Structure formats: C-alpha cells, structure tokens
C-alpha cells in the first residue's frame, strides 16, 4: 500500500508524507510539515492501544470487529474517524465512552485506563439519544443533576449552553416538538453542559438534511474553537470528515483496523463547498473505496450483513 500514490502536490495543502499506513506502525507525530503535531503533550488526551474486540455471532462463530487499533488523540484535537458501515467505528466510540468493554487492549484517557462510563467523555448519538420525557432544559441539566450540582447553578449553565447552540427560546419544549437539527443541537448542549474533556460524536448529523448539516458543521466548528474540547467524530461521510477534522483516520472494513491517517491543515473556518475540501476528500475516498467495495461484497454474499451494533456485548 503506497501511502501517497494519489497525492496531488500543491492542491492538497498537506505534505503527502503524513499518510502513514498504520499497521504496526507506532503512531506519533507523523507529519514533518505540521508544526502542531510536534507540540503534542507528553500524554495524549485519549489513547487507544492494541484495542481488539470480538464477539460471537448468532451462528456461534467468533467475529473480530476491531483489530489492534492504535490511536493517540491530542487534547483539543478534532479527530474524524471514517470507514464503511460495519467497520466498527461506532463501537470504537462506545468503547471510549466506557459503555462496553474491549476484548483486549486499553483505552487511556489522560493516561488512565477507562473502566466504565465517565462524564469526562460524553457521547452524542446519531438520533434519539435525548430523553423524550424531559423538556429541553431538563435534558441539558440531566448530567449536572446526576452530579448533584445545585439547581440554580444548573439552570445558569443550561441557559448558557442553550444560548451557545442558539436554542435559548426552546427551554420548555419537549424533544418531539423540535426538528432534527434542533435535537442534535440540544444533544450538543447537553453533552457540553456536563463539561466533558472529550466529545464523542457518533454520526451525529447523518440523519439531517444537507442545509441543516451545513449549518451544524459551522456551529460545531465554532463551538469547538470556543470551548477547546477534544472531539472524536465518527462518520461515513468523507467530505464531512475533511471539512471538520484536524486529522482523518480511515478504518478498514471488518475487522476494523486503522488503514491510514490524513492530517488536514486547511485553514478554518472551512466549508463543504471549498474546492480544497473536495480535493482532500477525494484522496481519502480513493483509499476508502476499496473498503466500501469489500463491505458491499460481503453484503451481497451474506445477504444480511451481521452489523456490528454498538451495545452488543463481546
């Protein structure tokens, strides 16, 4: 696998060298041209080392979902993970969130191994993660309530974060009264309100229409730069990944392995329509295509694809 066979020098303003096939490669500052990577903190914010996950299918065979995943995420980094459906990218987020555990390997946050959920890592789901029996305000306050933060403080923060996502007027609404885009903004506010260090986003905009998604990309980028959180963002949409991420990590189709990494140093704010974004995305897509084909092939052969569902116990 030649790392930069498709690189077009000069058009994608990233030295082609950083695309490093990650099999067995020790990750670290991979880019010579990217000064940011050299000031990496001694301990990364989130570190995945040799993560494997296998589980038993209904027919009893053992299926390897994730295979020796190694990843280091810097504090404040916006990392995007892309891969075909069935590569286990959502599952990876669930592992980081501590919602279930890997078969082997370690998830480290600030150098400490993760053993269960913690409010320093909040997961934003694709859809339906909000509580329909609570109002918008109560949803946003939920995490703080669980922590036992007094009501006055909770409400103040709730208002602050609702303003941040431009939903101040919808405090008293119930979730079903909001549009899809508004719901995801509530989800972002709810996650931020627990003041996590790491935001884990599991295809949060996949179910939204294109206009709403564009808008939320802008908002997320702004919120990220205002709050300085570390974001790990999973998507199957390569353009979205390039538009948002500091770095795009490509996973292979079952078992999920890190295939390659693409630092993205395009200036912000970016837009999906930027030709540079499109170009960079094409480069990632070229590598992803093989995986997508493998995924489709498996689908045709097996009829029903044994999806790796987050939440399936290994």
Partner 1 sequence: MKRASKYLIFYGALFGVWVLLAKLKIWPPYLFPTPWGVWEELYTGFQDHTYWIAIAVSMKRVLVGYGISVVLGMILGLGISSSKFLEETMGGLLVSLQSLPSICWWPLALLWFGLSQNAILFVVIMGSLLSVTLAMEDGRKQMPKIFGQAGRNLGAKGFKLFWYVLLPASLPFIVSGLKQGWAFAWRSLITAEMLYMSMGLGQVLMMGRDFSNMSAVIAVMFLIIAIGYIIDGVVFKAMERHLQNKWGLAPAS
Q: Judged by CB under 8 A, which of 42, 176, 300, 302 binds partner 1? A: 176
For residue 223, give the 3-state DSSP assignment: helix
Asked whether 12 and 280 are in contact (CB, 8 A), the reply is yes
42 forms part of the interface with partner 1 (CB under 8 A): no
132 forms part of the interface with partner 1 (CB under 8 A): yes
State which residue, 171 or 218, has the beta carbon closest to partner 1: 171
Measure the CA–CA gap between 245 and 94, rounded to whole angstroms. Answer: 20
232 forms part of the interface with partner 1 (CB under 8 A): no
Q: Judged by CB under 8 A, which of 16, 75, 99, 285 binds partner 1? A: 99
Positive or negative, the Cα torsion across 163, 127, 123, 250? negative
Buried b (16+ CB within 10 A) or exposed e, 235-257: bbbbbbbbbbbbbbbbbbbbbbb
State which residue, 119 or 212, has the beta carbon closest to partner 1: 119
Q: Judged by CB under 8 A, which of 11, 56, 112, 145 binds partner 1? A: 145
174 forms part of the interface with partner 1 (CB under 8 A): yes
Q: Judged by CB under 8 A, which of 146, 166, 225, 286 binds partner 1? A: 146
Asked whether 8 and 279 are in contact (CB, 8 A), the reply is yes
Size of the site for partner 1 (CB under 8 A): 29
For residue 212, give the 3-state DSSP assignment: helix
Binding site for partner 1 (CB under 8 A): 94, 97, 99, 117-119, 121-123, 125, 128-134, 142-143, 145-147, 174-177, 190, 194, 311
């Amino acid at each position: 696998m030649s790392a930069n066979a498709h690189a077009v020098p000069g058009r994608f303003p990233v030295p082609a060298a950083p695309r490093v096939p990650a099999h067995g490669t020790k990750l670290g500052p991979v880019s010579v041209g990217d000064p940011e990577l050299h000031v990496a903190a001694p301990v990364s914010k989130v570190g995945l080392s040799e993560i494997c996950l296998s589980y038993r299918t209904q027919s009893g065979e053992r299926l390897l979902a994730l295979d020796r995943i190694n990843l280091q995420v810097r504090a404040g980094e916006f990392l995007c993970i892309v891969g075909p459906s069935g590569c286990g990218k959502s599952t990876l987020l669930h592992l980081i969130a501590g919602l279930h555990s890997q078969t082997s390997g370690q998830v480290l946050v600030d150098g400490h191994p993760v053993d269960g959920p913690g409010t320093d890592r909040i997961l934003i789901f694709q859809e339906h993660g909000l509580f329909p029996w609570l109002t918008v305000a109560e949803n946003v306050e939920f995490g703080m309530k669980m922590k036992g933060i007094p009501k006055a403080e909770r409400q103040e923060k709730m208002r602050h974060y609702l303003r941040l996502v431009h939903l101040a007027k919808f405090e008293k609404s119930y979730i079903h009264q909001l549009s899809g885009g508004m719901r995801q903004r509530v989800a972002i506010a709810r996650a931020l309100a627990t003041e996590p260090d790491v935001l884990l986003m599991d295809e949060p905009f996949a179910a939204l229409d294109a206009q709403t998604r564009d808008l939320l990309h802008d908002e997320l980028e702004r919120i990220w730069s205002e709050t300085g959180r570390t974001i790990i963002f999973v998507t199957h949409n390569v353009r979205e990944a390039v538009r948002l991420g500091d770095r795009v990590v490509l996973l292979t189709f079952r078992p999920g392995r890190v295939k390659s990494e693409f630092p993205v140093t395009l200036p912000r704010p970016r837009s999906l329509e930027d030709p540079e974004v499109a170009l960079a995305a094409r480069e990632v897509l070229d590598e992803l295509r093989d995986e997508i084909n493998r995924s489709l092939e498996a689908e045709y052969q097996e009829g029903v694809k044994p999806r790796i569902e987050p939440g399936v116990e290994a």
